[in-house]
Structure 1
Amino acid sequence: MAKLKRSLFIGLGGTGLKSILHTKKRFIDTYGEIPPMTAFLAFDTDGDSINTKIDSNKGGQRIGLDASEFLHIRVRNPQEILSKQPDLFDFVPTENRPLLVSLTDGAGQVRSNGRFATHFNYGAIETAIRTKLTSILNADAIGHEKYEVNGSDVEINMMFSVAGGTGSGTFLDMAYIVKEVSKGINSTVGVSTIGFAILPDVFNAMMNGPAMANVLPNGYGALHDLDFLMHHNFDKKPLEIKYATKTITIEKPPFDLVFTINNSDKNANTYTNVNDLSELIGLAMFTGASELSGGMASSYDNVKTVIAGGSMKVEDKESWACGLGLSELYYDGNKLGNIYAHKASTSIINNLITPETDSFNLDDIFIDDAKIRENNGDANDELIDSLLSVSPKIQYSFINDVNSIDSEVNAYLVNVEDSAKTEISSNYAIKETDVNKKLSSFIIEHINKSSGVGNIDRFLNALVKHVQLFLEEMKSEQVVMSENDKLYKNQLNQTISELKGLSFLEKKFGPKLNNAKEDVIQSVNLIASNIHELLRRQYAITFFNKLLLTVGNHEENVKNIIQKLQQVEEDCESKFIGLQNQINEQPKKFVKELHRDFVNSVKVSDKDLNISDFIKSIRGNMDGLYDFSEMSTKLISESFWRFSKELPKALEYRNKNINEVLSTYSEDELNKIIKELIIKSNPLWSYNYKGHVINRQHHEAFIIGVPNVKSSVINKKTLSNVLESNQRADFNSTSMQDRIVIYRMEATVPAYAVSNMTLYKEKKESSRISHHIDANWLLRMEREGFDIYPTKREDHSLEYWVTGFIYDFIKFEGENYLAYSEEKGDPIEDYWIELGTYRDEAFTEFKRLKLQDEFKSMIDTKIADLGETENHKLIKEVTVSTNYNEHYSKKNFENSELKDSKMIKVKELFSDEINFVKKVLAK
């Protein structure tokens, strides 16, 4: 029974919507449905967002949001609404009011537009949230054998980007609406709100130009607004959010935890597509609600305690921004099983359409069985003999009256022909029916065998050639019989004339009468036999012509079957090649796919396939493969899929769990996999304290989900080989048999220290619009002197002295150390100021000149120009081994000289520099 946390997943804007879709996909892939204690809700100013869908791992299912899970927060004619209700919307900054245009297809990357849509649609938003929360809270009342509710509290996971207009403009209001609605439903139930905020950098990586103009400044405005609420003194004059039907008094910070998610980690592994980040966050939110929820709740509580205790504060700034990293070890046996099944289908089809080498005698077997052979003259007269005898059963043997011989002979021959036609017509019908039936049975019998379609195709081709040969012989013999008919009739006329011409005495007494009669009788019988022979050929010709048509129809059907099978074969080949290419594509940065190690070894052996078993699966009461001629390729394809996907080898791939797969790896290979997973799980963020911190430890948590803790190949012992001494992992059973998840969080830093805040602020200050959502709040911030940066200063001279060398703002040239300062330097000297010859004296002068603030600004600018990724590379290079000492310190002495007594102060300073590099800068 799965033990799941009550969870509502809210997606704001397009990015948030995609993230919760990935979460929904995970639930469906894992449990086959959405559990009753789980709900999804998306809000967007773009109504087309509801059409967004992603693929499930289960049978090609497309996953989207249903109508109850999406609310289009559109506003038509916002200018008119603003003019009619100026007090209700007085939060809209003056400079942003002209930007309020129709909010039906997005918020135009203007944060205050997104908030305007929230206020206008407050009633619908409140109702949607209340409906979902009520269904989650009622989960206990739903009898379900598959699930158990983990705890009584509800966790709200809210996903948004701070770079655009909708998500960035709505997330603060939504957080407070959720809190207010939850109080009205059940005040005894604890509700925690967790924000997942994607920072702007990934959008800049995807696209540049005017379309991205507001992305970075929006990020600064959003984090500035959020930081104000996270620092707000709620004992002072309260803040309020006024809606048309409700006023919410802000009594707490909007979120219990906030994860700020950038597009790169400390190792400069960079995401360049926001969809990949959406998928990662979707998995993170699913993980937090799944069987891992217990371990994660404990880590979340630890972080909340740390934040509340104030130990993570930096001067007067609260630390609330958390880093999130996640990696997934995944074995998709389903894909491997599908590849095998499609390959098996192609092998079966290839077998069916490829004739056997010993199938050349099928035509002779059928001809002999059907008794239709007609070749080599009288040697083989099987067909015509079955249609009619060679001669009439009653021979013409006696002339009754010579005087009426003509009428007598004619009557006999007419009777012979009539009788023959009656008999041959009956025999023909019987023969035709019998042969056609035998042909159909023969085709169905032999087509439903190994190589059957190819064999029958070859058989029909050969049968046509035989029948054409028989037909030509019948036509040739018919010509001979027609010529014989003329000859025999002439002979008859001559013999009758001779008989009639006998004299009276020759008729009465002579032997000539008997001879003449015998000649007439013989001639009549020759004609009668020839009538039979002609009829036999005529009907044989008709028979063979019709048989050719029948065989032609069968040929057409078989060709049609072959064509369809070839098309299905091509489709199957395309499918398994597509799956192979999909697996072999560049993997997602947070996923290690074990099935990649096996995809090229999926092979189908002939001994694995039993063609007769496939044929049995499609026969039933039908004609098996022959029925394919009248079936669509779709139905044919489905018949192969139904059979192939249940083959033992396909099921073996599909049913193998990740633990079984991992057990096939050596210890070294396993350690390599674990190391890769830990690297992939590095939190997607970086930070820069900008001189305000010398030494502090972050809270770090590893939560590892395995199918079963008791039997997992990856466990505390195997993990201890690769984790650092200060890292500890908590293991939890997830019941997910195909994957292992590492969820990693790092906490916390103040908002100002989050990656690239300096650049965000710089872009904000050069923007012509406001990137804050509430003009009234901004005024209050200004009057209270609120700043996102610490307002106290400490002496961080050593930090800027060291980083001055690293970033080339301090150098040793000639006989002096020089510092660059545009504020205090002489432009004639290119702004370089002499500090002194000895390093300790130069440092003292550096401090006296109070260059700290200017250096801070110059170094921040330099870091922004480099970019977070390149800056990380530089710092990593500086802090490795003795690199600072040898390459970056710009010292004017050898280390051996520090033993000299006059270098005591220099030695102390240089030791402090190296300690700073190793103990502070390297963290």
Structure 2
Amino acid sequence: MTTVHYLKRTVLIGLGGTGKAALLNAKRKYLETYGEVPPLVSFLVIDTTNDNASSLSATLPNGSTVPVKLKANELLHIEARGASKLPQVNDEIREWFPKRAELKANILSGAGQVRALGRLALFANARLVYETLRNRLAEARDYTRERPQQDSDVLYQAYTPHLTVCVAGSIAGGTGSGTFLDVAFLLRDLLKDEDQLFSYLLLPDIYTSRPGTQNVEANAYGALKELDHCMSLESTWSYSFGGRRIDVSKKPFDMVFLINRQNRAGKTFNDPADLADLMGFGMFLAGGPLGKEQADIFDNIVVQLAEGQGRYYGKTAHYASFGAAELAYDPRPLQQLSGLGRARALIETQRRSRSAVTLDLTAQRALEVREGADVPNTVAAPDPDREAQMWPSVRSDLLNIRETARTETQKLLDAEVRGWEDHLRPTLSQFFNNGSTVLDLHAALDVALVQLREVRSAAKERVRSAEEALTTDLEATDSNVRAARPAASSGFFGRGRREAAAPVLDRKRLRSLHSKAVKCGQEEAKLSLIERYITAMEAEHRRLQNLLDRFDQLRTTHVQTPDLRPQPQRSRPYTLTLPTTSTLSGLPRAAVGTETVPVTLDDLLTRPEDVLRAQRGSGDAIDLEAWLVTALGQPEAAREIDRVFRELNDLSAPSWDYQDAWVSNPAVSHLEQVQILGVNDKNRTALRSDRLEDVFAGRMHQLQFVSTGDPNRVLFYKIEAAVPAFALAGIDGYREKYLQLSAGRSFHLRADWENLPDLTPLPSDREAARVWSQGRVLGRIRSEAGSYQYLSNRDGSERWYTLGSAFETAFFAFRSDFFLFKEIEQRIRRQWHEPRNDREATALKVSIERLQETTARLAQDEQRPGSERRLFELHGEVLAELMADVSRGTAFQQPDDFEPVVLQ
């Protein structure tokens, strides 16, 4: 029966070292799930480092372990020799390369945490990059990739003809951070509108404690500023890349997943390999392996985000994150305790040798000396006078005789060979019933096949010899017939009477040719018959080999007793396992039997799982769901299950953190949260129990169950979107490092992106100057004891806080602290717009005039820096506007002096 797997047509693209690690992990997930990389999935890594030595280890569904590596055609190395000259000689690079960007003589092994160098290497290989991407997408669209291979029992089908493309990398370094936007624009140029394009971007926090990473936070901030700008896409533009124009008319990604070292549940990872594991997990899930229902849920949230999620203080929310964790059911400890001894004994017995088995091949060997069918000689009688004209017909008759001899000999011996074939399986079954094991029979067939292949080799030699004898005789006869012309007598210049030559096609020669043609056909028939029997024996040998392989798989996944001691190998960070030692301690232990129930060889070959199930007995738990039903009834086991599922819930929390204060206002926007629980059968799952609903702390109403068809695995997949970049936890540190370092170097990909708007929704200088001036007039901001201060009750009681001693420093500290700005703005708004009498209005004007005078005097103080004097000039302009507003009365509310009509 053919197994059908439904997936999306998926292309996974890794950028730089982080992207490569993510793709290796995604590839491992496919291998561990399907036993192979499905033909609907493609991989490509673009890197400035030419290193393909990295590998992981994957455990296939059959229990075997294989290395996970990228193929040579899955790695594109982009290098730039003479890189320092490229901005001078390459027009395409010159037009964007930032003046303050660092240059290297060559880019051969990494971009040195310089984003512009990563982009430079991409442009240096522009045509190769574009053609590679185009070819990879064309291959992914090839519908023949869905066709199964010959004799394959697995079929992969696509949910949709459209592509899902995932781009993974870090925005902290040089290669990934320097190429991810251009790669997105190139893909947009090649993709259709219906295709999906996602990115999985690693934030810099995982690297900040490591040496030689001084640029990572500034790189990330520059990359996020550019990404924010491109995702908003208020205008279109184009640029030249490898001689072609790339039009930028759509935002680079349909969804941007940001990954950080700490998730929303507080789980923290310190190894970049762990986060690469998660990124690979996410890209694997984007391909829809949990089923169409999961793919539809994922697509729906993408559509909702594409339609826009509103704005947070004027900034659009573009960013999402996800979390994923799996609970793997390991039945081996349970089987150690629940009476699987008979099944284990059966497998172990059949995988061992008990006695040597010898198959009788006497009849088959006799085929070497058996005569074939007699074939009458149908060649016409020789005619010496016409033999040259007759020879072609005679030659054709001989070839027909050869074919007739082959056909008739096959008919003659067919029943005998069919008897050998029909007798083979009963013979093997008889040996099995008499105590021989599967391994004994497999070994017997090994020996028999060696012997029969020797018989076949001898038969091939006889065929070759017979063919050579017939061919030699035919060629000699052909030559003699051509030469058999009346011989010319001697004479003047060789002219004269010609004499007849002796006849060639005499009866003796014709009998010889007939005999050799018959011999050739008979030997060919016997060779084909021995090959037919070898094929039948190889089929039985293959059945037994498959059974032994299946035994190894069942022995690993169902029967083998595990070692419960801690293993030294590195654990998978997002995988939990049940049952644990603690859950087993509360379960009743059944006796383990060792005497197997009689079985037949045919049963083992056709339905080994049913045979083992019968050996185990009907009371054994055989999958996670069945075991949970039993275990949740045992107090000790139930408590441990609660703990494991809580851990699963926390591990799968979206892998980022953000400041709730920025996104907690329901009037601003909202967050999308999707939680998918993949189970074997969503309609019959034990996870819907009241106890496990309590474990998920009231979130079960948000859970969407999907059926995976996997009885031994539960998968938790959570998506959260969308948050603006400035809300990310730690973004203030990125910004601080960016401002600190950007004076001396560039952290941008284009010179004209150096002055992009800040990620934080800060007020403009004029907006900040207006609130600052209102605060000065109303006494909430003051210059006191050589410093500027503001009045706030943020700590519970009102007191003065210092902003800075110099005016410029204090003002920019005020403008750069969004929360402070909003606090003062709110307090000023209430005071400024309160109704006032004429005396209060006059006092307000006087206060503004005095501040105007002070500000004008300070603006003319030549001892002050020019930048500070310009700020005072700006404040003077704002004060003039405030005075005009107050004078017009526009700064005050109009009184409501309406009087109703009173009816008597």
Aligned mate of 1:45, from 37, 45, 48: 48
Tell me, in whole angstroms, the C-alpha distance in 2 between the residues paired with 1:280 and 1:321.
17
Tell me the equivalent position of 1:710. 683
Partner of 2:740: 766
Hey, what's the Cα distance between the residues in 1 that align with 2:803 and 2:739?
31
- Match of residue 16 from structure 1: 19
* Structure 1 residue 835: Cα displacement: 7.0
CA distance in 1, matches of 2:23, 2:335: 29
**Equivalence map 1:440-839=2 (5 Å):** 580=564, 588-597=572-581, 608=594, 656-666=622-632, 668-669=638-639, 670-688=641-659, 694-695=665-666, 697-715=670-688, 720-723=693-696, 727-767=701-741, 770-779=745-754, 781-782=755-756, 786-792=757-763, 824=783, 826=785
User: Secondary structure at the residue paired with 1:118?
Assistant: helix
Q: Deviations over 1:261-290 (max 9, x none)?
A: 111123322000011111112112212213
Larger radius of gyration: 1
Partners of 1:655 and 1:70 in 2: CA distance: 45
TM-score normalised according to structure 1 size: 0.53
- Amino acid of the structure 2 residue aligned with 1:16: G
What does residue 269 of structure 2 align with?
271
Which piece of structure 1 moves more, 745-754 or 683-692?
A: 683-692
Residue 452 of structure 1: aligned partner: none
Contact 2:86 2:93 in 1 (8 A): no
Q: How far apart are residue 198 of structure 1 and its match? A: 0.9
1:135 aligns with 2:139: yes
Q: Partners in 2 of 1:650 and 1:179 — Cα distance?
A: 57
**From 80, 93, 107, the counterpart of 1:103:** 107
Q: CA deviation at 1:717?
A: 6.0
Which string of whole-angstrom CA distances, capped at 9 and with x for unpartnered residues, describes residues 204-236 of structure 1? 24xx33x111111111111111111012212xx
Gaps of 5+ in 2: 149-153, 353-435, 437-555, 600-608, 769-778, 821-904
Among 78, 83, 103, the alignment partner of 1:78 is 83
Match of residue 201 from structure 2 = 197
- 2:59 corresponds, among 52, 56, 62, to 56
Taking only the aligned residue pairs, the percentage that are identical comes to 24
**Which amino acid letter does the alignment assign opposite residue 323 of structure 2?**
G
Question: Equivalents in 1 of 2:811, 2:573: separation in Å?
Answer: 39
What's 1:221 paired with?
222
**Counterpart of 1:665 in structure 2: which amino acid?**
A
Assess, with a 3 A threshold, how the Cα gap between structure 1 residues 304 and 63 changes in structure 2: closer, same or farther.
closer
Once the two structures are TM-superposed, the CA of residue 334 in structure 1 deviates from its matched residue by: 7.4
The answer on whether the counterparts of 1:114 and 1:169 sit within 8 Å (CA) in structure 2 is yes
Measure the CA separation in 2 of the matches of 1:756 and 1:43. 29
Q: 1:510-568 CA distances to partner (integer Å, 9 max, x unpaired)?
A: xxxxxxxxxxxxxxxxxxxxxxxxxxxxxxxxxxxxxxxxxxxxxxxxxxxxxxxxxxx
Shift of 1:716: 7.7
Check if 1:282 corresponds to 2:280.
yes
CA contact (8 A) 1:221 1:772 kept: yes
Q: Does 1:261 align with 2:259?
A: yes
Residue 13 of structure 1 contacts residue 167 of structure 1 at CA under 8 Å; is this kept in 2?
A: yes
- Distance, in Å, in 2 between the alignment partners of 1:336 and 1:48 is 43
2-structure distance, mates of 1:262, 1:221: 17
| Partner SS state of residue 314, structure 2 | coil
CA positional deviation for 1:588: 4.6
1:712-752 CA-to-partner distances (Å, cap 9, x unmatched) read 22238665434455751111112233311111011111111
Output one character per residue of 1:849-901: Cα deviation in whole Å (capped at 9) or x when no partner. Answer: 9999857967999xxxxxxxxxxxxxxxxxxxxxxxxxxxxxxxxxxxxxxxx
In the TM superposition, residue 48 of structure 1 has moved relative to its aligned partner by: 1.1
Write out aligned runs for 1:878-893 (5 A): none
Code of the residue aligned with 1:701 in structure 2: it is V
What amino acid maps onto 1:790 in structure 2?
A: P
SS in 1 for 2:51: helix
The residue type equivalent to 2:630 in the other structure is T
Cα 1:650–1:253 shift into 2, 3 Å: farther
CA offset digits 1:373-407 (Å, max 9, x no partner) = xxxxxxxxxxxxxxxxxxxxxxxxxxxxxxxxxxx
Partner Cα distance (1:149, 1:855) in 2: 55
Pairwise CA distance, 1:299: 3.9
Q: Does the 8 A contact of 1:314 with 1:693 survive in 2?
A: no
Change (3 A) 1:651 1:14: farther
Residues 405-461 of structure 1 deviation map (CA, whole Å, 9 limit, x = unaligned) = xxxxxxxxxxxxxxxxxxxxxxxxxxxxxxxxxxxxxxxxxxx9xxxxxxxxxxxxx
Count of residue pairs the alignment pairs up: 564
**Counterpart of 2:101 in 1: which secondary structure?**
helix
1:178 maps to what in 2?
187
Deviation at 1:243, TM superposition (A): 1.3
The one-letter code of the counterpart of 1:750 is P
Q: Are the equivalent residues in 2 in contact too, given 1:22–1:279 (CA < 8 A)? A: yes
CA distance 1:293–1:845, shift in 2 (3 Å): farther
- Alpha-carbon deviation of 1:46? 0.9
CA gap of 1:266–1:59, structure 2 versus 1, over 3 A, is same
Question: Residues 843 and 280 (structure 1 numbering): CA distance in 2 closer, same or farther, change over 3 Å?
Answer: same
3-state DSSP of counterpart to 2:674:
strand
Q: Please, which of 35, 39, 45 is the counterpart of residue 36 of structure 1?
A: 39
> In structure 2, the residue corresponding to 1:758 is in which secondary structure?
helix
Q: How far apart, CA to CA, are the structure 1 residues paired with 2:288 and 2:594?
A: 39
Task: Tell whether the 8 Å contact from 2:762 to 2:815 is kept in structure 1 after alignment.
Answer: no
1:332–1:158: structure 2 CA closer, same or farther, 3 Å change rule?
farther
Matches within 5 A, 1:267-416: 267-292=265-290, 294-333=292-331
Which residue type is aligned with residue 680 of structure 1? L
**Contact 1:4–1:150 at 8 Å: present in 2 too?**
yes
Residues 337-378 of structure 1: per-residue CA shift (max 9 Å, x gap): 99999xx99xx99xx9xxxxxxxxxxxxxxxxxxxxxxxxxx
Q: Deviations over 1:673-711 (max 9, x none)?
A: 433322222111111267686445421110111122233
Classify the secondary structure of the residue corresponding to 2:100. Answer: helix
RMSD, matched Cα: 4.9
Q: Which amino acid aligns with 1:703?
A: I
Per-residue deviation, 1:200: 0.6
Separation in 2 of the partners of 1:88 and 1:705? 48
Against the structure 1 CA distance between its residues 232 and 580, is the aligned structure 2 distance closer, same or farther, given a 3 Å change threshold? same
> Could you tell me how far apart the structure 1 residues matched to 2:127 and 2:55 are?
25
Which stretch shifts more, 161-170 or 687-696? 687-696
Q: Partner of 2:282: helix, strand, or coil?
A: helix
**How far has the Cα of 1:651 moved from its partner?**
11
State the distance in 2 between where 1:103 and 1:338 align. 57
Corresponding letter in the other structure for 1:27: Y
Q: Give distance in 2, aligned partners of 1:292 and 1:242.
A: 41
Identify the structure with the greater helix proportion. Answer: 1
In 2, the alpha carbon distance for the partners of 1:75 and 1:27 equals: 34
Change (3 A) 1:659 1:81: same
Secondary structure of the residue aligned to 2:709 is: coil
Q: Name the structure 1 match of 2:404.
A: none
Cα distance in 2, alignment partners of residues 592 and 315 from structure 1: 41
- Counterpart CA distance in 2 for 1:332 and 1:660 is 13
Amino acid at match of 2:694: N
In 2, Cα distance between the equivalents of 1:92 and 1:336? 63
Separation (CA, whole Å) in 1 of partners of 2:96 and 2:29: 39
1:584–1:596 CA contact under 8 A, matched in 2: no
Query: 8 Å contact 2:789–2:801 — kept in the other structure?
Result: no
Does structure 2 conserve the Cα–Cα contact (< 8 Å) formed by 1:326 and 1:741? Answer: yes
**Retained in 2: the 8 A contact 1:218–1:771?**
no
- Alpha carbons of 1:759 and 1:860: their partners in 2 closer, same or farther (altered >3 Å)? farther
In the other structure, the counterpart of 1:153 is 162
Aligned CA distance change for structure 1 residues 752 and 848 (closer, same or farther; 3 Å): closer
